Amino acid sequence: MIIFPAIDIKDGKCVRLIKGDFGQMTSYEQSPFDQAKIYFKNGFKNIHIVDLDGALKGKSFNSNIIKEILKNFKLKIQIGGGVRTINDVENWVKSGADKVIIGTAAVENRDFLKTACKKFKNKIALSLDVKDGLIFLSGWKKQTNILVSDFLKEIKNFGVSRIIYTDINKDGTKSGPNIKDTIELSSNVKIPFIISGGISSIEDIKKIKSLNNSNIEGLIVGKSIYDGDIKINELAKQI
C-alpha cells in the first residue's frame, strides 16, 4: 500500500481546499519545497503534487517549484494540474516525474488519453474527481453529466497505469474516505486505484491497509497532515 503525502500548490504556496472550493482555501507557512523535504527526510518515497493554478488555467504555473523538488530529492512524484497536451506530458516525464496525472483533458478528449498511454507506457495516472457519481473538471469548477462508472468502461483498456479517485464531497473535510465507492468502482477495471479525499486519522489509513483488495494501490493524505491531525512520524510508520 503506497502512502502519498500531498502537496497542492497555488500562487507558489502550499494550500488545501475544502470540497474543492477555492473560497475555502487555507494557505500554509511551509513552502512546497520545504514540505517535500520534510516528507523525504521522514522516509516517504512517493509524493502527490498538484499545480492548482494549472488545473484552473489549463497550463502549469508552478513548474519551476516542482522541478526544483524533482531535482533535489530522490522521490517518485506523481504530478498533475494543467496537463493538457502530449508536450506537457513529455516535459514532465523528461523532468523526472514518476507518473503524470491527466484529469480534465482525459475526460474531454479520450483520444488524447489513449495516445498518452500508448506513447508513455506506465507513466499516465488518470485523475477522476467525482461528486455524487458525476465527474467534475477544471479544478472542480465544471460539472459534467458523465457518470464515472460509464467513463471507466470506455477507458479500461487504454493502458492507464493508475486511477486517482477523489470524492469531492469528502476532500478536505477530514470526515473519513469513501472506501465503499472506491472499492465498488475499482472492481470494474483491472487498473490500480488510489483513494483520495477525507482521510483524517491513522485509523483511516490502517482500515484501508487492511482491505483485502489487490486493486487498491494506495492512498493520498493532505489536509490532515497540514492541520496536525496526523503526525508525519506516525504516518511514516505506516509506509
What is the domain-level CATH number for residue 225? 3.20.20.70
Q: Does the annotation count 227 as an active-site position?
A: no
**101-130 per-position pLDDT tens digit:** 999 999 999 999 999 999 999 999 999 999
CA distance 20 to 198: 12
> Is residue 206 a contact partner of residue 238, using CB atoms and an 8 Å limit?
yes
Taken in order 160, 182, 227, 75, the sign of the CA dihedral is: negative
Q: How many domains does the chain have?
A: 1
pLDDT at 59: 87
Catalytic-role residue among 51, 53, 88, 129 = 129
CB proximity list for 228: less than 8 A, separation 6 or greater: none
Give DSSP secondary structure letters for 129-179: EEETTEEEETTTTEEEEEEHHHHHHHHTTS---EEEEEETTTTTT-S---H
**40-80 per-position pLDDT tens digit:** 999 999 999 999 999 888 888 999 999 999 999 999 999 99
Identify the three-state secondary structure at position 89. helix
> Is residue 217 a contact partner of residue 78, using CB atoms and an 8 Å limit?
no
CA distance 135 to 105: 12
pTM, entire model: 0.93
Looking at the chain, which runs of residues are DSSP E strands? 2-10, 13-18, 21-28, 46-51, 76-80, 99-102, 124-131, 134-137, 142-147, 162-167, 193-196, 216-221
In this predicted structure, the answer to whether residue 214 has a pLDDT above a threshold of 70 is yes
Cell numbers that stand for 174 in this block? 477530514
The mean pLDDT of 132-141, rounded to a whole number, is 84
CB proximity list for 2: less than 8 A, separation 6 or greater: 46, 194, 217, 218, 219
Q: Does the annotation count 88 as an active-site position?
A: no
Domain extent at residue 140: 2-236
Catalytic-role residue among 8, 53, 98, 167 = 8
